[in-house]
Each structure stands twice: as structure tokens, then as C-alpha cells.
Amino acid sequence: MTGGAGYIGSHAAKALRLAGHRAVIFDNLSAGHREAALGAPLVEGDIGDVDAVRRAIRDSGATAVMHFAGWLSVADSVRDPGGYYRNNVAGTLGTLEAMVAEGCRHFVFSSSCAVYGQAAGSPLRETAAPAPINAYGQSKLAIEQALPHFERAHGIRSIRLRYFNAAGADPDGELGEDHDPEIHVIPRAIAAAQAGARMEIYGEDYATPDGTCLRDYIHVSDLADAHVRALARLEGGGASATYNVGTERPSSVRDVIAAVERVTGLPVLRQAAPRREGDPAVLYACAERIREDLGWRPQRADLETIVADAWRWHAAHPRGFAMESR
């Protein structure tokens, strides 16, 4: 699992172990955390180093690669497209070439709803024509489009999971979100509540019911479960496929803030700020395809449940994973 010490990767690694798999984590720890491996085998390495990826596949005897490693900030991708193409496109192509060389033929790819851009109007179906509006989304789409070629040429079957907004934390409290800097709205609202600081709302003049952007917040444990099911499909001989992974419920930035206030019992001070470049107004999923093909159903779909799990993690780990290594 590349990026298996990161936020989504670590939750997926835990879910895979609980499902009886042996998950080996490959992570350069630039954004991941050693503690997030929860004691699973961790190979320190960079996906840019194809030989290191090859060795990790060979030494672990991996029969599948789940590819979480990648950069994730829409705003940064607008400023630094080269970095996003290098990490998310070139790095992933190197990973695929390592798989080809080592005879590893199953690939689960962390894609994103950012591939849709402003395209089609929500709820988004996988059949909507992708039209990313930032380099991040474009980098994910580039890999999605490369994968059929790898299948034709090298027999690599793949599941592309288009995550909507990953949020929440492990309900057992072992794992949670720890980004530096933290860009995501739920942890930011929680941090603002804890500190009594102001959080910015990026745009209140969108064509949405309350003027703020609508997103589909999906619990990270539900995302993790989608990976377990994706792997089962590949191992069972199922065809390659692309799936939205979302709750199908749109929530606005104001809805998020209201949920954080209810869950924490603390006020969230806010302040209007300009729109953030690269932000589409509305993104939420139609998840019928993954329901039908993989039997996936989100178990913690309610925004308040998602925020409550995130809050439990942040309240217990105010400095994230750093607390454990003191």
C-alpha cells in the first residue's frame, strides 16, 4: 500500500488487516505517520524510486497494490502544477511500471471527485464526462485514462475509486486525520472551535441554498471498506471499474460548522473570505454503481456521526500522532 501511513491509507490498512489480509505499507512519511501504521510492516520509500517500489513488491510478495500516495491539495495544485504532475502522474506511472516488472496485476487507485470539475451537475454519475478544473483533478484523471492501456498491454486490472470528501476518524479512536498544514474544512472548524479562533469561509456567494459550497462528506472508514471490497472484486476475477464513493448527501460549509458546534458544544467563530481558487460549487455523488457491484453501503453516512468521530480523535490527540512519539 503506497501512502499507507497517511490518512485514508492507514484506515484502509486497518480494514484490510481486519478482513484477514496482510497489508505492507510503503510510505516516505512526508505526510504519513509511522504511528499510523499501527505496527504493520512499514517500508520507508518514495514512489519516485521505481527500484524501491519493485523491491517492496518483490520482498512482500504483494499480489495487489493499493495506491494512496499522492498530493491532495486543490489550491496547491493550482500554484504548483508541475509538482502535482510529477507526484501524482509520474509517481503513479512509476508504481505501475514496478508492478509490471514484478508481475503484480491488481491495482486499486485513489481517484477523486475532482475529476468531474464543473462538468455535469450533481448528483454525479461515473458516466458524466470528466472536466477537471484544477491540476489535482487533472492528475487523477490522467491516471484513470492511462489504466486501460496498462490493462491491454500488461494485464493489470484496476478499480478506480473516486473519493468524495474523506472525513471523520476511526470509530475505535486509533487513527485520525493529521495533515500539516490542515486544509480540510471539518478539522479546521474543529480547530477553530477548540482555539476560539476564527475560521474563514471561502465564498458565500455560490449559487447554492446558503451560498457556500456543497460537498459529499464520506466517512474514512466507509472509504476503507470500499477498498476491501474493491480488492475482493479484483481477486475474484471481476472486471476493472470506476466507482464514486460518497454518501449522496450534499452538505454546505455552513452545515459543517453547525454540526461542529452541535457536537463540540463550542461556538465556531467565522469570517467571510474570498472564494478559493479551483473550488467547484457543488460536488456530490450518485453511488448506485458501487452499491450494486460491490454491495457497499456507507455505515456512518450522517454528517453528525462523521463530525463526532473526528471530534473524538482531535480532542484526544490535539497534536495528532505527534503525541504518541513524545
List residues near ligand UFG by CB under 6 A. Answer: 72, 74, 112-114, 136, 165, 183-185, 188, 199-202, 213, 215, 253, 276, 279, 283
Question: Exactly one of 84, 136, 202, 217 is catalytic; which is it?
Answer: 136
How far apart are the C-alpha atoms of 27 and 113, rounded to whole Å? 24
From residue 63, how far is each of 20, 66, 92, 109, 252 by CA, in Å? 14, 10, 17, 15, 40
CB of residue 312 to ligand UFG, shortest distance in Å: 19
* Helix (H) / strand (E) containing 110: strand 106-112
| CB neighbour list of residue 130: distance below 8 Å, 6 or more residues apart | 115, 116, 117, 119, 137, 141, 144
Q: Say if residues 201 and 189 touch (Cβ distance below 8 Å).
A: no
Q: Which residue's C-beta sits nearest to ligand UFG? A: 213
CB nearer to ligand UFG: give 104 or 137.
Answer: 137
In the bound state with ligand UFG, the residue whose beta carbon lies nearer, of 184 and 300, is 184
**Residue nearer to ligand UFG on the CB measure, 53 or 72:** 72
The nearer residue to ligand UFG, 118 or 299, going by C-beta atoms, is 118
Rounded Cα gap, residues 180 and 316, in angstroms: 18
- Minimum CB separation from ligand UFG for residue 39, in Å? 27
Q: Is 243 a catalytic residue?
A: no
Quote the least distance from Cβ 236 to ligand UFG, whole Å.
29
Q: Tell me how far apart the alpha carbons of residues 290 and 233 are, in angstroms, rounded to a whole number.
A: 11
Query: Min. distance of Cβ 36 from ligand UFG in angstroms?
Result: 18
Catalytic residues: 136
